[in-house]
Structure 1
């Protein structure tokens, strides 16, 4: 942190604030926070940026999870089961993260985001209809554990940005949740994935702890505010934020790739 300007630190803190808000509403805050870290520390290996991103994100995600579980109809048992699988997946992903080349991060994330955008736009009613009555079948829960837990958890540990968005989409698609309930459940799962990945990054010594602590304060404020707004405004608001965030991030990543 000694070789970075005060202006750069201020921008990183603002990015953490915005990322916390976005993450709490619909997920994907890391797609703002991680590029900000890439700009602030272009000379560092990606593993340090990924580790610092996790140390910041877990604070805002935990605050959002607490806010949601107090007021939203969350099936905590199902969320924890998916979260434990996601924790295992994220530890495995973080183990392989040290070998990632920063040159592949932007195009990879951009391709994934384009797929997310196409899915949401082609499904206008996605996440806005009430879930079907009755308990969720065991098959659907197992599918959610495999896809949202192990699969997306591995991605979270390996790369990370967009995990919350992908979890929301997976939970709506597999468990037929509305967007607010899916966002609430995602926060619990995301705490598990962040924790698993952070343990591995900390073990490898690839976390900038002083910077992470400062950014985490802003991420905490953003996460708390975002969760409250999502609960108050409902699924239509969450869907609108999802589309705006994905479009904006695709445009930003495309510009960065073209400029490079």
Structure 2
């Protein structure tokens, strides 16, 4: 088990770095955990341990971002609270929701997001200076609730969806969008933990070292993103979308 744990520490470090820099750390972390942990490990335990690690890295990356990047707290805080509640509701509803339809729907969404970002070269390259309108505040609550529910019931691509919403509908640059997305993503991860921890789905001897690894990756990833700026994040965002498109397409074919 020691060798397995060391391997998972490396995976979680890389997942934390990837997630903080451009998002999508779950693409690496969740499959890695399912493949490396003992085959008889219950699925809720795998997800619970993974959420502890993810929360640690996302929270750390969020702290790194908001110290240096201005984010729209007036909209983010109520949206994050609503996303928290809806993420918990999504987790509770997962057993009754036709999740099999999520992958083809998300494949179409990711393809559309990639094409839009690719052809609109200036997307997310200019920092917004205007204050948010009441209508934008309302839509922030709506998107927070909708994506929070999606994160609770399915999950993959949540950070990418949030970042795209902030860039496309609010006119933020990719750096401010990534910082804003991390704030909400942190709360949705926390919502999942309020379900997994009380129900005994977390093995702490696995979760704590993996959380430390993800945290370290989150620190480095956030610093790389801040230093690389919006151009780096735009290219990273498109690469991430390609990975998601490939994963969803493969899952539908296999």
Alignment TM-score > 0.5, same fold: yes
1:198 aligns with 2:193: yes
237-246 vs 95-104, which deviates more?
95-104
| Residues 1:118 and 1:203: Cα distance change in structure 2 (over 3 Å) | farther
Give ranges in structure 2 of 5+ residues lacking alignment: none
For residue 93 of structure 1, what is the aligned residue in structure 2? 90
Give the TM-score taking structure 1 as reference length.
0.85
1:39 aligns with 2:72: no
| Residues 1:108 and 1:206: Cα distance change in structure 2 (over 3 Å) | farther
Give 1:116 deviation, angstroms.
Answer: 3.4
Superposed CA offset, 1:198-230 (max 9, x none): 101223332333222121111101111111111
Are 1:110 and 1:254, in contact at CA under 8 Å, matched by a contact in 2?
Answer: yes
For residue 130 of structure 2, what is the aligned residue in structure 1? 134
1:30 aligns with 2:15: no
Superposed, 1:40-189 pairs within 5 Å as 40-41=36-37, 42-98=39-95, 110=107, 112-131=109-128, 133-147=129-143, 149-189=144-184
| Residues 1:218 and 1:78: Cα distance change in structure 2 (over 3 Å) | same
Give ranges in structure 1 of 5+ residues lacking alignment: none
| Residues 1:101 and 1:134: Cα distance change in structure 2 (over 3 Å) | closer
> Separation in 2 of the partners of 1:108 and 1:208?
33
For residue 222 of structure 2, what is the aligned residue in structure 1? 227
| Residues 1:48 and 1:102: Cα distance change in structure 2 (over 3 Å) | farther
Aligned residues: 253
Are 2:94 and 2:154, in contact at CA under 8 Å, matched by a contact in 1?
Answer: yes
